[in-house]
Structure 1
Amino acid sequence: MFKYSRPHAFLCAGLTLLSCFSEAARAEEAYPSGPVTLIVPYAAGGTTDVVARQFAVALQKTLGQSVVVENKPGVSGTLGALALKRAKPDGYTLSLIPTTVFRQPFIQKAAYDPASDFTYLARISGYIFGVVVRADSPWNSWQDFVKAASATPGKYSYGTPGQFSTPHITMLEISAKTGMSLNSIPYKSDGECLPALLGGHVDMCAAGSSAGTLVDAGKLRWLNLWSEQRSSRWPNVPTLKELGLDIVSESPYGVAGPKGMKEPVVRVLSEALHKAAIDPIHTTALTKQAQAVLYMDAKDYTRFAMQQIEYERALVLRLGLKQE
C-alpha cells in the first residue's frame, strides 16, 4: 500500500490552501455576481426616492447587475443604517446615508455607531432647502417676515418634514440667530407640510425642492434658500448667507455598506458609484430637483463622515436637543 511521505503531505496541504486562496480571489474578482440592494430610508415617491431610483438605474449600468431599491422610511431616515448593521459585508446590501444618521445618536439612543458600524463608499449629492410661503402671503421678503415675527413672538408657525429633520434643525438655528420665537409643527414629509401650508394651517414651510413645482406654478413663494450659492432655477431668491445668517444647509447624503467590507469589493463599488453619480440618467434627475452632484470618493467621504459626526454632536449640544 502506498503511504504519503511527510513532504507529500505538506505539499498537498499547501496546494489545498493555495486552491482556497485562488477560489476566494476569483469570488472577489467576480463581484458582483448577483443583484445589489440599495436601501432608500424614505417613502416611495418622495424627492429622495425619485432621484435614488434613477441613480440605481445608472449604478446598474456600471455594475452589470440589477440594483433593487428597497424603501425603509421612518425614524428620521435611519432605518437604512440599522439594516446595514445587520447585513453581511459582502457588497450586496447598500444604503443611502442622510445627515440624520450622524445626528440621531446624539438626540436619542440609537442601535448603531456612525463612526464605526459602516463602510463609507461615496458621497453623492445634497438637497436644496428653504422657507416657502403662500403666494398671497403678506411677506414679500424674508426681512418682512422677520420684522413681523419679532414684533409678535409666538404668533407664527412653520411646518417641517419631521422632528429633528434637517429643515427642523436649521429652523432652530435660524430662530436662535434671529431671536425669533416660532412654533414648529412636524409633519411626516413635504407631501404633508405643503398641503397644510396651502390650506392655511401653518404660516410657512421649511421645505425641499418638492416645493419648487408649486413655486413655479405661482402658488408658493420662496423667502430664502439655504444653499451655498443662489439657485439657477430660482436666481432671484437670496441665500441665508446673503441675508446675514452664516448658515448653509444642504444635508449631503452618500452611500455606505456594512463595516468589514473587503478592499476589492470596496474598490469595485467606489468606481461604480462615481460613474453612476455623473451619469446623465442621474444628473438629469438631480437637475429636476434643483440638486447638484457633491461627489466624494470613499476616502474623502469617510473623512467627511467623521467630521460631520462631530459637527452634529456639537450642534445637538448647542441647541439643547438631547432627549432623556
Structure 2
Amino acid sequence: MKLGRRELLGCLAGATLAPALGQAQSSEYPDRPVRVIVPYTPGGTNDLVGRILSQKLSEALGQPFVVENRPGAQAIVGTEAVARARPDGYTLLIGASGPIVFNPATSERLSYDSLSDFIPVTNLVTFPLVLLVSANSPFRSLADLIAFAKSNPSRANYGTPATSFQLATELFNQRAGTRFQHITYRGSSDCVTALIRDEVTMTMIDTAPAVAGLSGGQVRALAVTSADRIAALPDVPTMKELGLPDVEAVLWAGLFAPARTPPEVVRRLNTATAEVLQTADVKERLSKLVLDPAGTTPEAFRATIAREIDLWRGVAKAANIQMDR
C-alpha cells in the first residue's frame, strides 16, 4: 500500500511524538491514585511501615497512595499480584525479606521470581533478631545456652513464627554446632509466651516484640544478630562479640515495582522515599516500632537481595528445609 505525502508525514510525526508522550507521562507521575500492596494482615510491622510510607508519599507527590492488604500463603498471594500487575508505577509492593529472599531460598516452585519480576525501588527499614530465653532459666550468657544444648540435644528447642526466623536460627545452629529442635508458633508474641511457659528453650524474634517482652521482665536477651549493638538494647551483645561472627541476620522491608516499570518512575519513587525516610516525624515513628530507616539505590538493593538468596538457600539446604514438600 502506497502512502501519500500527508499520510507519510503523519506517520513520522506519530513515531516522533510517541516516545515524547511516554516521557511526559512518566515525568507527570503520579497523576492518579497508587495502590500499595501489603501481603500481610493489617496491624503488623510491614503493614505499619506501608501506611507510614504511603501517607508521606501522598503528601510529597500529591496523589493518594492507598494501602491494600493481600495476605496469604507465606505472603505469596500479594507478592504475586504485584509481579503480574501492569508496570506503570501505579501498583507497588511492600516486600519483606520473607517473600523476597526466604521464599526463594526454600521453594523451587514459586509463582514469581524475586530478581526478574520486580524492580527493587529502595530498602525502607531494617531490624535484627534478638535471641531470648526465659528470665527463670539458668542461662545468663550465650555460652551457657550453647553448653546446655550440646549436653542436652533432646531437650533443646526453639520457637519461631515464620520461615525467615527458622532459617536465621538454623544458621545459628550450624555455626554454634548445636541442634536445637524447631517448634512453630503463629506469631512472635506467641514465641515469647512459649518461653515464659517453659515450652521452648529459646527463640530468635524481631526487635519490637522482643523489646515488648523484655519490658515485662519475664524474658532475657542474650544476643542480637546485627553487626553492631542496637539503640533499643544497648547492653545486649552481638553474635560477633560472642564469638559467632557469621551469625548475622538483618531482616528488612522494601518498596518494589513490577519489572519493566519506567526508569523515570522508579527514580521519582526512590528520590521521594529517600526524602521521606529522613524526616524527623518518620524517624520517630519507626523508632517506636524499633526499626531503623534504610534507603538505598535500586542497584544496591538488588545486589543485597541476590546475595541473601544465595546465603539462605545454602542454610536451607544444610538444614533440609523445603517449603515445597
Common fold, TM-score beyond 0.5? yes
Match of 1:235 in 2: 234
Residue 171 of structure 1: how far off its partner (Å): 1.0
C-alpha distance in structure 1 between counterparts of 2:72 and 2:273, whole Å: 25
Matched, 1:89 2:93: no
C-alpha distance in structure 2 between counterparts of 1:17 and 1:118, whole Å: 29
Residue 21 of structure 1: how far off its partner (Å): 4.6
Match of 2:103 in 1: 104
Change (3 A) 1:149 1:21: closer
SS at match of 1:132: strand
Match of 1:174 in 2: 172
Change (3 A) 1:15 1:176: closer
SS at match of 2:101: helix
Change (3 A) 1:70 1:233: same
Residue 222 of structure 1: how far off its partner (Å): 0.8
Residue 19 of structure 1: how far off its partner (Å): 5.0
Q: Which moved more, 1:267-276 or 1:38-47?
A: 38-47
Change (3 A) 1:262 1:84: same
CA contact (8 A) 1:59 1:272 kept: yes
Match of 2:154 in 1: 154
C-alpha distance in structure 1 between counterparts of 2:312 and 2:157, whole Å: 25
SS at match of 2:74: helix
Q: Residues 165-202 of structure 1, C-alpha deviation per residue, up to 9 Å, x if partnerless? A: 2x211111111222222221112221332223333332
Matched, 1:67 2:68: no
C-alpha distance in structure 1 between counterparts of 2:266 and 2:235, whole Å: 42
In the alignment of these two chains, the number of paired residues is: 318
C-alpha distance in structure 1 between counterparts of 2:308 and 2:133, whole Å: 30
AA of the residue aligned to 1:98: A
Structure 2 length-normalised TM: 0.89
AA of the residue aligned to 1:234: L
Q: Which runs of 4+ in 1 moved over 6 A?
A: none
C-alpha distance in structure 1 between counterparts of 2:310 and 2:147, whole Å: 34
Change (3 A) 1:310 1:152: closer
C-alpha distance in structure 2 between counterparts of 1:281 and 1:55, whole Å: 11
C-alpha distance in structure 2 between counterparts of 1:145 and 1:309, whole Å: 29
Aligned pairs for 1:216-255 (under 5 A) are: 216-246=215-245, 247-255=247-255
Query: RMSD of aligned C-alpha atoms?
Result: 2.2
Instruction: Give the gaps of 5 or more residues in structure 2.
Output: none
C-alpha distance in structure 2 between counterparts of 1:44 and 1:197, whole Å: 26
Aligned pairs for 1:13-162 (under 5 A) are: 13-18=11-16, 20-100=18-98, 101-108=100-107, 109-162=109-162
> Identity of paired residues, percent?
28
Aligned match for 1:7, one of 5, 8, 11:
5
C-alpha distance in structure 1 between counterparts of 2:170 and 2:308, whole Å: 18
Change (3 A) 1:23 1:212: same
SS at match of 1:252: strand
Match of 1:190 in 2: 188
Structure 1 length-normalised TM: 0.89
CA contact (8 A) 2:38 2:47 kept: yes
CA contact (8 A) 2:195 2:219 kept: no
Change (3 A) 1:44 1:197: farther
C-alpha distance in structure 2 between counterparts of 1:193 and 1:302, whole Å: 32
C-alpha distance in structure 1 between counterparts of 2:257 and 2:197, whole Å: 41
Aligned pairs for 1:164-313 (under 5 A) are: 164-165=163-164, 167-209=165-207, 210-246=209-245, 247-313=247-313
C-alpha distance in structure 2 between counterparts of 1:145 and 1:206, whole Å: 13
CA contact (8 A) 1:231 1:290 kept: no
CA contact (8 A) 1:58 1:279 kept: no
C-alpha distance in structure 2 between counterparts of 1:223 and 1:78, whole Å: 33
Q: Which moved more, 1:15-24 or 1:141-150?
A: 15-24
SS at match of 1:124: strand
SS at match of 1:76: coil
C-alpha distance in structure 2 between counterparts of 1:106 and 1:230, whole Å: 27
Change (3 A) 1:78 1:277: farther
C-alpha distance in structure 2 between counterparts of 1:195 and 1:35, whole Å: 41
C-alpha distance in structure 1 between counterparts of 2:287 and 2:219, whole Å: 20
